Structure 1
Amino acid sequence: MNLYLVRHGESTGNVAGKIQGWKDFPLSNLGRDQAELVAEYFKELPLDYIYSSDLIRASETAEAIATRKNLSVHKWKEVREVHLGPFQGLSRQEIFEKYPDAASKTILTSGVEGTETIDELTKRCQYIVQQLQIAHKNNNVAIVSHGGFISIFLMYLIAGDQWHTLHRPFQIGNTSISHIEWPKNRRNPIFHYVNRTTHLVTEAKLNSNMRLL
């Protein structure tokens, strides 16, 4: 199985500097452009199925890819962003003012009441891997999700249930792509790349060159 993890395009929540979690924000104008660029990236790649978080910023991004590939988007709530409860809709500064203890921890696993727990996140990751292995062992699959959850899922693929005990080094940009493969007859995955955004860099260079003409 080849698995492509894609973060959604820039959302209006990103623009406003809000911690989003499960709070729904649509794509910004730039985010819609980014979605078209990542869809173009997938144009020549084999893809059999597309799954998406049911939050609008992810599903809008997934629809752009699906349109280019003539596929349907299957919404899957299990790949939503981390549920951040009382943090959702606040800026980081507002969170640290209201919850000072969170400043010394990662927001994603702060342990603050009302946020998704490490145990709940671990069970989500377990379930996703199990379902993918059952249904798509020989397929090429894209999942459009969110930066926080993708970074945790990658850690789970590396360290299993102990993912939370290790430093989480991944930076996951808007519409970045991470490619993981489970080769036939091998239990453990291999990582081809993480956080690839060359589709955005190429476009930025083209726009810059056009302004110079």
Structure 2
Amino acid sequence: MKLYLIRHGESTGNLAGRIQGTDDYPLSELGKQQAEYVADYFSDIHLDFIYSSDLTRASDTAKAIARKKNQTVNEWDKVREVHLGPLQGLTRAEITMKFPETVENSILTSGVEGTESVDELTARCQYIVEQLQLAHRNHDVAIISHGGFISIFLMYLIAGDQWHTLHRPFQIGNTSVSFIEWPKKQDKPLIHFVNQVSHLDPIVDKKKNHGLL
């Protein structure tokens, strides 16, 4: 199985500096452009199935890819962003002020009451791997998800149930692509690359030409 993990394009929540979690925000204008560029990236890459978080910023990014490939999007709530309860909708500065325990711990695994627990996240990752292995062992699959959850899922693939005890080093940019492969007759995955964003070079070049970078 070949698995492509894709983060959604920039959302209005990203643009406003808000921690989104499972709150639903649409793509910004830049996010819509990014979605088209990542769709172009996949125009020559074979995909058997496209899955997406059911949150708008992810599903609209997935739809851009699906249109390019004349395929359909299967929404899957299991690949939603981490639920962050009372932290959602706040800026990082507001979170630090209201929840000082997040200074020493990642907001994704802070343990603040009302947020998704490490055990719940572990169970979610385990379920996704099991379902992919059952249904798609011989397929090429894309999952459009979210930065926080993708970084956790990658750690789970590396360290299993102990993922949360290790430093999580991954930066996952908007519409970045990470590529994982399970070779035939092997249960352990290979991670080919993480956070590939070369398809966004035209946007970066355009900003440079306009003196915005």
TM interval, shorter chain, is: over 0.9
Task: Indicate yes or no: 2:11 matched with 1:11.
Answer: yes
* Corresponding residue for residue 30 of structure 1: 30
Segments of 4+ in structure 1 off by > 4 A?
A: 206-211
Residue identity matched to 1:70: N
Provide the secondary structure at the position in 1 that maps to 2:164: helix
* Corresponding residue for residue 185 of structure 1: 185
Partner Cα separation in structure 1 for residue 44 and residue 66 of structure 2? 13
Q: Which runs of 5+ in 1 are unaligned?
A: none
1:72-111 per-residue CA deviation (whole Å, 9 max, x = no partner) reads 0000000000000000000011111111111111000000
CA RMSD of aligned residues (A): 1.3
* Corresponding residue for residue 74 of structure 2: 74
TM-score of the aligned structures, taking structure 2 as reference length? 0.96
Provide the secondary structure at the position in 2 that maps to 1:155: helix
Residue identity matched to 1:170: F
Task: Indicate yes or no: 2:2 matched with 1:2.
Answer: yes
Residue identity matched to 1:45: I
* Corresponding residue for residue 43 of structure 1: 43
Task: Indicate yes or no: 2:59 matched with 1:59.
Answer: yes
Partner Cα separation in structure 1 for residue 129 and residue 153 of structure 2? 9
Partner Cα separation in structure 2 for residue 191 and residue 74 of structure 1? 24
Change (3 A) 1:210 1:85: closer
State the Cα distance separating 1:206 from its structure 2 match: 5.8
Provide the secondary structure at the position in 2 that maps to 1:192: strand
Residue identity matched to 1:98: K
TM-score of the aligned structures, taking structure 1 as reference length? 0.96
Task: Indicate yes or no: 2:144 matched with 1:144.
Answer: yes
Change (3 A) 1:181 1:160: same
Provide the secondary structure at the position in 1 that maps to 2:162: helix
Partner Cα separation in structure 1 for residue 47 and residue 61 of structure 2? 15
Partner Cα separation in structure 2 for residue 209 and residue 103 of structure 1? 38
1:151-206 per-residue CA deviation (whole Å, 9 max, x = no partner) reads 00000000000000100000000000000000001110001100000000244236
